[in-house]
Amino acid sequence: MDRKLLRTGMWILLALVVLVVLSTFILGMLAGRAEKRLDEALKQIAATGDPVEMTQLAKPPIPDEENAALVYRQAFDEIEWPEDRPRFIKDIASGKSKLEEAAVVSQARDVLRRNRRALELIHQAAEMPECDFQRDWSKGIDVVFPEFAKLRRCSRLLSFESMMSLHAGRVDDAVEACSANFRLSNAMDEPYPTGQWARYGIITMASKSLNTILRDSQPSSEACLSAAEEIGKMELTPSSVEAMKGQRALGIWCFNDVRSSPNPPRALAEFISRVHVPTSESEEARVPQIAPGSHSFAKWSLMIDELTYLELMERGIKEAALPYREVASIEPSLEKERELLRQFPPRIMTMIFARSASGAALRRDWGIADLGLAEVSLLLKAYKAERRKYPDSLAELEEFAGRALPEDPFSGEDLVYHREGEGFLLYSWAFNLKDDGGVASKPRWPDEGDIVIQCTR
């Protein structure tokens, strides 16, 4: 009986050994096929001239005298922020604090005086044609953007300056400070999603300042036309496409980083714990624990993961060239495609990196709407300055401007314009893709309401 059990055990052990050998062989064969497909996919991307390595995101060399980054860095060192009241500049720039009390005005003038040199440098940098902070893209996922927080502070300072100029009755100077703020956003025009999202934030900040100025003030026609022309030249969609290509290059870098590790399964587990922040306990439970010794499976799984990633990013890049209203109608959406990635084999890294593409078109089109509203409102003010009244329609304004007016990215049609008393109402449909009658969206609920500019005179 014991011998029979022993023989049975030996046969079972032999079967297990054969199964392990066959599994390793099959996985190796599958990995080889996947590797060939992956090499072909990467070669096809490279053949188009698009980046497949992070270092390819670096900008061409710029002469120092044309590089705004060098001047911005000087401005960073010159800024004097009131540390005892860190929100003072921000509150005045945003209109939260009014320049009504003498003590507030006095302190604001002192802040403006102490930042005069910084503002001169910011204006100088914003006029320059190129900006390159010369990032070390070879760091891949560890690349940093320390200048963005400082550029946001520069933007706040420009908004602060525009409010101070408005308070002093220098309306044209206030408009020029807003124009500089719009130009400053170009310093964040990086081929990477982080830069584009930061850029949109600056555009929104500049737009809010301009809205405050135009609401009940009348700049000169020259100041309005000059600012409108500058804003009209700004384009966000091409940079949005390049940012998606940069995101794809980042993903390729991350896959290479994990795959080149002596222990890919452990490297993958460490990578997940490093970059993935679960949004719920159930999601945390779905992050797999990779067993030691599963090198063959990990190699094959990573290949399939990367092939899926490249496929989805190709779709994301194409959608980045489309307005949000068209992207929103595509089925299945990228978000639904992402949910399917939980099936075997799990495309873990694709699930993580596919997130950053989901709201790109939405946020970009908000920036496009901000720019369009700013341009048209300035043209309306120029029309009023020259003809003593606002036009009855945007068709009249288009004839006055001598060029086509920007359309609403959310409707695909003209921005909505109405004369109201001595002023006007101008708005975009915004996120919900419907006309809410010019009711402004609320900061905490941007998916309801319109993006509105309302002038009283």
Q: Give the tens place of pLDDT for each residue, 403-414.
A: 999 999 999 999
Q: Does residue 221 contact residue 385 with C-beta atoms inside 8 Å?
A: yes
Task: Tell me what the mean pLDDT of segment 368-379 comes to.
Answer: 98
CB 348 within 8 A of CB 402: no
- Taking residues 284-305, report their average pLDDT: 60
pLDDT at residue 23 tops 60: no
- Over residues 65-94, mean pLDDT: 92
* Phi, then psi, of 104 in degrees rounded to 5: -65, -45
Exposure b/e, 89-119, CB count within 10 A at least 16 = b: bbebbbeebebeeeeebeebeebbeebeebb
Q: How far is CA 170 from the centre of its chain?
A: 33
For 263-386, list the strands marked E by DSSP.
Answer: none
Given a contact cutoff of 8 angstroms between Cβ atoms, the answer to whether 204 and 366 are in contact is: yes
Torsion from C-alpha of 258, 261, 266, 267, nearest 10 degrees: -30
**Long-range contacts of 256-263, Cβ-Cβ distance < 8 Å, separation of 24 or more:** 257/140, 257/141, 258/302, 258/349, 259/299, 259/302, 263/295
For the segment 201-241, what is each residue's pLDDT rounded down to a tens digit?
Answer: 999 999 999 999 999 999 999 999 999 999 999 999 999 99
pLDDT at 202: 97
Question: What pTM did the predictor assign?
Answer: 0.87
Helix axis angle, 360-387 to 394-401, nearest 10°: 80
User: What is the reported pLDDT for 49?
Assistant: 96
CA proximity to 350, closest of 247, 263, 278:
247
- Encoded amino acid at 147, one letter: E
pLDDT confidence of residue 337: 75
Predicted confidence at residue 240, as pLDDT, reads 95
Q: What are phi and psi of 2, to 5 degrees?
A: -65, -40
Q: State the pLDDT at residue 302.
A: 84
What are 425's strand-pairing partners? 418, 454
In the chain, what percentage of residues exceed pLDDT 70?
A: 84
Model pLDDT, residue 18:
46
Residue type, 354: A
Lowest mean pLDDT among 60-74, 285-299, 423-437: 285-299
State how far the Cα of 144 lies from the Cα of 322, in Å rounded to an integer.
29
Answer yes or no: is pLDDT of 194 > 70. Answer: yes
Of the candidates 218, 430, 96, 447, the one whose C-alpha atom is nearest the C-alpha of residue 438 is: 430
The sign of the dihedral angle between the CA atoms of 299, 304, 305, 310 is positive
Average pLDDT over residues 386-397: 97
Kindly report, residue by residue over 247-257, the tens digit of the pLDDT. Answer: 999 999 999 98
CA distance 152 to 158: 10
pLDDT band at 24 (very low <50, low <70, confident <90, very high): low
99-121 pLDDT tens trace: 888 989 999 999 999 999 999 99
